[in-house]
Amino acid sequence: MELAVESTWWRMPALAVACLLAGALIPARAQVPGADPARAPAASPAGGSADVEADIANCLEVRRSAPARAIALADRLLASARLAPADEIKVQSCLGMAASYTGATERALQAVTRAEALLAAHPMPSEFALRAVSNAGAILHGVGHIDAALDAYRRAYALAESGDEPRAQLVTLVNIGMIHSEELRAYEAAEGFYRKARALAAANDMEDPSLPYNQAQNLLRMGRRTQAATLFADAQATATRAGTALLARRAESQLLALQANADNRGALRGRLAALASVQLALPDVGGAAVTLTTLSQLALADGDPTAALAHAERAAQLSRSTAFRHEHIQALEAQLAALRALGRFDTALAVATELRDFETSLMRAQSMRALADLQARLEDGERTREIDRLVIADQARVVVLQRSQLLRNLALAGIVLLGVGTLAFAAFQRRIRRRLEQLSMVDPLTGLLNRRAASLRLVDGVFARLGDAGNPVRRSTLFLVDIDHFKDVNDRHGHAVGDAVLVEVARRLLAGCRPGDLVSRWGGEEFLVACPLLDLDGAIAIATRLRESVATGAIDVEGGPIEAPRVSVGFACWPFFPSAPQPGGAPRRWQDAVVVADRALYAVKRGGRNGWVGLWGSATSRQTVESFLHDPARSIAGGEVTLVPADLSVDWPTSGPAAASRGDAGAVRGTAFEGSPPT
């Protein structure tokens, strides 16, 4: 049984249920709880007996519809069978998802930890690893560990991208968008991920009802009801064609809620009640809870608070699980509104207290930094109490000591207190120093990494390792992006408007990059973008996207919108010549790429701006970067370096130390390149 990719894609006004994306070796389609397609067992990477495979398949089949049964089956498999590593990863994934549905958060986290340890100790094929990491993200998402879930989704996206798995990329983009929309309230950022998912689906002729459904939810939170209704209708139609009854019914519920008005509320209440029964039969407990909450709101608007309370209480009962935490909040809010309408204020106070405590626990669980700060404060309080206990003990001993011993004890107590104060002051200094170091890594205007922080990431981070991976086709790539005529903006509109332009350009560059790419402010109006594992075509596509993302749409500033600036982009790969000796190592390689990209950027500037130029070294050339910089024209003519666009003609300097600087980079002959090149 191939390990399935989990995707958390419904998220009504809030929740965590996981859907199944079929295994990698069969056509993938978003599935729903209780409606998994029948799948023939496929061999695990490490193999396993037919009985074990059948039990694992049964566990995966019922992990949502009968989670207690799935947990018991997983426990029996783990206790009685000598499982191959791949089989145990599947069992732990099943156990973790089922535990998240029953609210057993610790068991779910233990399952994720064990699966990750097995994956690290026993390397698996990339397709299997992708599904294991995606499952881990879905489990963590379901139990509310949002930071860890987002990290797992990003790793899954990188694996899907490197393995050319567009379906898995789409699912992961939807999951990341959901976290930004629902958990982080970053609706515009979520919309960016959904747009990327839509472009990916269109390019690969894919249809997935989870995409329009979750994008509609995000638009609804932004108050764009008409657009949301259109996408809900699209999701319902797509889900019906795909046979995913759960999602089709959820989209139908949302459409009915958006259509409600004073004239049709009575009829809609009947349709929603019937729909909730259908959802419970699927089973879709979370969807039924949301439909009942909507029904409660309509009943209250219709002047029937008794019915509203009954529906809300039923919704709250169904959603009492960490897997349905957001649905539970909505149900409690509806219950509170109905109790107030009935005048039952004592009961309303109890429900309000329950709601407050529940939301507080979720906020603590979702904020890792807040938890760390809270833990530090608790530890400081424990140290203070321990010191108080020592002081009290010293005072008790002083009573029975002779006068001759009193001065010695007081002196000893003074030394102890001085030592504690010294340690506390040293700890305070360390915290302040760490905070200052963090602030020194971020550009205060744009919020991007500054030049120092970006340099450290390029030397010590994933880019340095990938840049030295020796892949002759897919290499790390540096893009230098410079705003054209930025001085004119400051002279014409003032420095406040110039700062606003820099902030907006930074935001648009981030939106034009992939998850995991590095974007930094390199200095003044110049930005640096670093992307791992690109071939030349991919680098051309990103250069085009960076230029176009900045130029799209006017920029709103004080005094009214102004035209978006144009940018020039130069890029180069590293290692620039993978086969050539590199005595400087990884740090020197990325610095060489900066120098070469700077030469390419200057070629754009001399050619009229508003375009891009790239330089790509041959994988077989043995020459050094210094040799290329001394005479670029010879290397390009000899095929050792590719210049893009290919029809661009450049006079490169051939001698002198200034040849390596932008000031003497030569002149471009012919018309400057503008617009999008062929990719």
Top mean pLDDT of 99-103, 399-403, 484-488, 666-670 is at 484-488
Cα distances (angstroms) measured from residue 605 to each of 288, 480, 505, 654: 60, 12, 18, 19
- Average pLDDT on 326-340 reads 91
Please name the residue that has the structure tokens 């540096």.
478
The pLDDT value recorded for residue 504 is 96
pLDDT digits (tens, 9 = 90+) for 5-43: 455 434 433 333 334 333 332 233 333 333 333 333 344
Residue 294: pLDDT above 50? Answer: yes
Crossing angle (nearest 10°) for helices 305-318 and 325-342: 160
| 233 vs 226: CA distance, rounded Å | 11
The pLDDT value recorded for residue 146 is 85
Interior CA angle at 472 toward 125 and 534, to 5°? 75
In terms of Cβ atoms closer than 10 Å to its own Cβ (0-12, 13-18, 19+), residue 432 is: exposed
CB atoms within 10 A of CB 271: 16
The pLDDT value recorded for residue 145 is 87
Phi, psi of 295 (to 5 degrees): -60, -40
pLDDT digits (tens, 9 = 90+) for 97-136: 988 888 788 999 999 999 999 999 998 898 898 889 999 9
| 634 vs 651: CA distance, rounded Å | 11
- Average pLDDT on 61-77 reads 89
pLDDT digits (tens, 9 = 90+) for 227-249: 999 999 999 999 999 888 889 99
CB 340 within 8 A of CB 119: no
pLDDT digits (tens, 9 = 90+) for 595-647: 999 999 999 999 899 999 999 999 999 999 999 999 999 999 999 999 999 77
pLDDT digits (tens, 9 = 90+) for 275-289: 999 999 988 888 899
| 518 confidence band (pLDDT: 50, 70, 90) | very high
Q: Mind giving me the DSSP string for 498-520?
A: HHHHHHHHHHHHHHTSPTT-EEE
> 14, 358, 7: which is closest to 160 by C-alpha?
7
Please enumerate in sequence order all residues whose Cβ is within 8 A of that of 350, keeping only pairs 6 or more positions apart, or say none.
none
Quick one: DSSP state of residue 442? B
Q: Per 3-state DSSP, what percentage of the chain is helix, strand, and coil (rounded to 5)?
A: 65, 10, 25
CB 274 within 8 A of CB 249: no
Amino acid letter, residue 450: N
| 254 vs 488: CA distance, rounded Å | 50
Cα distances (angstroms) measured from residue 193 to each of 94, 178, 214, 286: 28, 9, 11, 25
- Helix or strand run (H / E) with residue 527: strand 526-534
| 532 confidence band (pLDDT: 50, 70, 90) | very high
In this prediction the pTM is: 0.48
| 192 vs 180: CA distance, rounded Å | 10
| 245 vs 281: CA distance, rounded Å | 11
List the single range of 16-20, 48-52, 327-331 with lowest mean pLDDT.
16-20
